[in-house]
Chain A
Amino acid sequence: MARHVVATVDDIPAGQRMLVKVGGREIGIFNIGGEFFAVSNRCPHEGASLCKGRIVGLVESSEPGSYQFSRRGELLRCPWHGWEFDLRTGKSWCEPDRTKVRSYDLKVEPGGALVEGELQAETFPVVIEKQYVVIEV
Chain B
Amino acid sequence: MSIVELERSGAARSRLRIIDCDIHPAMTSWTEVHPYLAKQWIDHLSVYGSHLRHAFSEALSHPRMSPDAARVDAYPEEGGPPGSSLELMRTQHLDPNGVETGMLIPLRWNPGSQRNLDFGVALTQAMNTWQVERWVKNEPRLRASVLIAQEDTGASVAEIDARAGDPNFTQILVLPKTDEPFGRRRYWPIFEAAVRSNLPIAIHVGGTNGHPSTGGGWASYYMEEHNTVAETMQAILTSLVFEGVFERFPQLRVVIMEGGLGWIPSLTARMDKHWSRLRSEVPHLKRPPSEYIREQVWFTTQPMEEPGTAAQLIDLFDRIGWDRLLFSTDYPHWDFDDPRYAFRANLSEAQRDQLLYGNAQAFYGLP
What residues make up the interface of A, taking CB atoms closer than 8 Å to B? 42-49, 52-54, 79-82, 97-100, 102
Contacts and interface: CB of A to CB of B under 8 A. Distances in A.
B72 A47 contact: no
Interface of B: 1-6, 65-66, 71-73, 334-338, 340-342
A69 B317 CA distance: 41
Nearest to A43: B6
B72 A54 contact: yes
Contacts of A43: 6
Contacts of B340: 46-47
A100 B73 contact: no
B16 to A, nearest CB: 13
B5 A82 contact: no
A47 B341 contact: yes
Contacts of B334: 80-82
A52 B92 CA distance: 13
B226 to A, nearest CB: 11
A49 B338 contact: no
A80 B336 contact: yes
In this complex, the member of A43, A44, A80 whose beta carbon has the largest number of chain B beta carbons within 10 angstroms is A80
A44 B336 contact: no
Nearest to A52: B73
B337 A98 contact: no
B65 to A, nearest CB: 6
Contact of B4 (A52, A79, A80, A98): A98
A67 to B, nearest CB: 13
B73 A49 contact: yes
Given A52-B72, A100-B3, 6 more contacts: A47-B338, A80-B73, A81-B335, A82-B334, A98-B2, A99-B4
Given A82-B66, A98-B4, A100-B1, A48 B73 contact: yes
A79 B334 CA distance: 8
B65 A102 contact: no
Q: What does DSSP make chain A's interface, helix, strand, loop or mixed? A: loop
A47 B1 CA distance: 20
Contact of B71 (A47, A79, A99): A79
Q: What does DSSP make chain B's interface, helix, strand, loop or mixed? A: loop
Contacts, number: 50
22 contacts: A44-B5, A45-B6, A45-B341, A46-B6, A46-B336, A46-B340, A46-B341, A47-B6, A47-B338, A48-B71, A52-B73, A79-B72, A79-B73, A80-B71, A80-B72, A82-B66, A82-B334, A97-B1, A98-B2, A98-B4, A99-B4, A100-B3
A53 B65 CA distance: 13
B72 A53 contact: yes
B124 to A, nearest CB: 30
Contacts of B71: 48, 79-80
A17 B149 CA distance: 46
Given A47-B340, A47-B341, A80-B334, A42 B6 contact: yes
In this complex, the member of B3, B336, B340, B342 whose beta carbon has the largest number of chain A beta carbons within 10 angstroms is B3
Nearest to A48: B73
Contacts of B341: 45-47
A44 B334 CA distance: 16
Nearest to A44: B4
A80 B70 CA distance: 8
Nearest to A103: B3
A79 to B, nearest CB: 4
B183 to A, nearest CB: 33
A81 B337 CA distance: 9
A119 to B, nearest CB: 31
Contact of B342 (A46, A49, A100): A46
Contacts of A49: 73
Given A82-B65, A82-B66, A44 B6 contact: yes
A100 B4 contact: yes
B149 to A, nearest CB: 32
A127 B18 CA distance: 50
A42 B337 CA distance: 15
Nearest to A92: B4
A98 B4 CA distance: 7
4 closest pairs, A vs B, by CB?
Answer: A79-B72, A52-B73, A46-B341, A46-B338
Contacts of B3: 44, 100, 102
A11 to B, nearest CB: 21
Nearest to A54: B72
B7 to A, nearest CB: 10
Contacts of B338: 46-48
A52 B336 CA distance: 15
Contacts of A100: 1, 3-4
Contacts of A80: 71-73, 334-336
